[in-house]
């Protein structure tokens, strides 16, 4: 008969709250308060308990007391982009008899301690973090409570074991740039987004790859970086159109930037598409009503939200998932904002 194993040597599925309490040097009720996000525990004690939970890979196995909600976390809710994601998540939640709790971080990317404590106390069925970054500690806190996490279009590199959902951003960048090349454009600019975000880097890399394949030299002046809002597109568009040799076409990282380029062109007396072709990215609802209707790369935002929610539900049920990264296909939607360059500007 094998000797009795010490708590620290037991497999994580055998660990109990009492085992964790003994290793951490606290009482069982204290561990329970930490697990449930309750107050009444000092910061130092809470940190020690969390450290033991991580070290021994503790996973709460019971699932009956999880609240029937999906926790949806956004860094900002300022565009139709967010609304499409919400629609996809809500559709799946409704089908599964779940409610949706929505948190906006007002432009921040990492939820604060107050959100973490409220979420742990609620104990939702799962969490979908959209364009947000949870710290390693927050991800560990979710894991030890048996609360699955899925990251949607992460701004940073997610931990390998954290499931994530995105789109084929590189392919979208290639398709947009190739469309402009096929029309005869060679002086093609791209208004970039923050390069610390993988989705923005991938779209820029796709743009560069298409130009390289066509043996078109990449001009650093034609790739300004600005925020992913109308204001960013306006500023970048004005700079590009003031160049001695301005571009004949501009591809933007998202539709809001493209709308800003529209305004920059209007102010400069530049006609779209006669003098300047413009391509956006996302295919938000306003693009088909722009003047002229906007050529853009469709990112399946509703489907992405639904896929993230489906993954969370599957994980909450204990199902094994075969892929930790899911990418949905992007599609070029050609409308009236692109045309061949004016005669003499193609070369």
List pLDDT tens digits, range 232-264. Answer: 999 999 999 999 999 999 999 999 999 999 999
CB atoms inside a 10 Å sphere around CB 310: 19
d(CA 146, CA 10): 19
What are the boundaries of each domain within the chain?
A: 7-55, 67-166+302-328, 169-299
Q: So what's the pLDDT on residue 123?
A: 80
What CATH number does domain 169-299 carry, 3.40.50.150, 2.40.40.20, 3.40.50.2300, 3.90.420.10? 3.40.50.2300
Domain 67-166+302-328 in this protein, CATH class: alpha beta
pLDDT of residue 6: 44
pTM to 2 decimals? 0.78
CA atoms in the 13 A half-sphere facing the CB of 324: 10
Element (DSSP H or E) covering residue 250: strand 249-252
List, in sequence order, every residue forming a beta bridge with 73; answer none if it has no partner.
103, 129
DSSP letter string, 162-176: S-EEEE-HHHHHHHH
Q: What is the DSSP string of 268-311?
A: HT--TTTT-EEEEEE--GGGGGSSSPPEEEEP-HHHHHHHHHHH
Topology match between the domains 67-166+302-328 and 169-299: yes
**Which range, 29-33, 139-143, 198-202, has the best average confidence (pLDDT)?**
198-202
Return the bridge partners of 297, or none: 281, 332
31 or 8: which carries more pLDDT confidence?
A: 31
Task: Calculate the average pLDDT of the chain.
Answer: 83
Q: How confident is the model at residue 4 (pLDDT cuts 50, 70, 90)?
A: very low
Considering the four listed CATH numbers 1.10.260.40, 3.90.600.10, 2.30.290.10, 3.70.10.10, the one that applies to the domain covering 7-55 is: 1.10.260.40
């Amino acid at each position: 008969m094998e000797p009795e194993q010490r708590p620290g040597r037991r497999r994580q599925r055998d660990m109990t709250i009492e085992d964790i309490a003994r290793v951490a040097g606290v009482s069982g009720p204290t561990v329970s308060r930490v697990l449930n996000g309750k107050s009444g525990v000092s910061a130092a004690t809470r940190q020690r308990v969390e450290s033991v939970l991580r070290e021994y890979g503790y996973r709460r196995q019971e699932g009956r007391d999880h609240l029937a909600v999906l926790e949806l976390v956004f860094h900002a809710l300022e565009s139709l982009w967010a609304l499409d994601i919400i629609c996809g998540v809500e559709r799946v939640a409704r089908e599964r008899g779940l409610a949706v709790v929505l948190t906006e971080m007002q432009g921040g990317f990492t939820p604060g301690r107050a959100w973490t404590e409220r979420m742990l106390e609620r104990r939702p069925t799962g969490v979908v973090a959209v364009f947000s970054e949870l710290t390693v500690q927050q991800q560990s806190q979710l894991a030890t409570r048996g609360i699955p996490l899925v990251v949607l279009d992460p701004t940073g590199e997610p931990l390998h074991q954290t499931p994530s959902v995105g789109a084929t951003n590189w392919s979208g960048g290639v398709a947009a740039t190739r469309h402009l090349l096929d029309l005869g454009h060679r002086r093609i600019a791209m208004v970039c987004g923050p390069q610390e975000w993988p989705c923005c880097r991938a779209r820029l890399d796709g743009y560069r790859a298409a130009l390289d394949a066509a043996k078109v030299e990449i001009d650093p002046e034609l790739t300004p970086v600005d925020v992913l809002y109308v204001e960013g597109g306006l500023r970048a568009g004005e700079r590009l159109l003031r160049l001695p040799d301005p571009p004949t076409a501009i591809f933007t990282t998202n539709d809001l930037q493209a709308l800003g380029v529209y305004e920059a062109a209007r102010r400069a007396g530049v006609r779209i598409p006669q003098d300047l072709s413009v391509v956006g990215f996302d295919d938000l609802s306003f693009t088909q009503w722009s003047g002229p209707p906007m050529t853009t790369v469709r990112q399946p935002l509703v489907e992405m939200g639904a896929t993230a929610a489906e993954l969370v539900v599957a994980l909450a049920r204990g199902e094994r998932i075969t892929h930790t990264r899911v990418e949905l296909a992007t599609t070029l939607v050609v409308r009236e904002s692109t045309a061949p360059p004016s005669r003499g500007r193609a070369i």
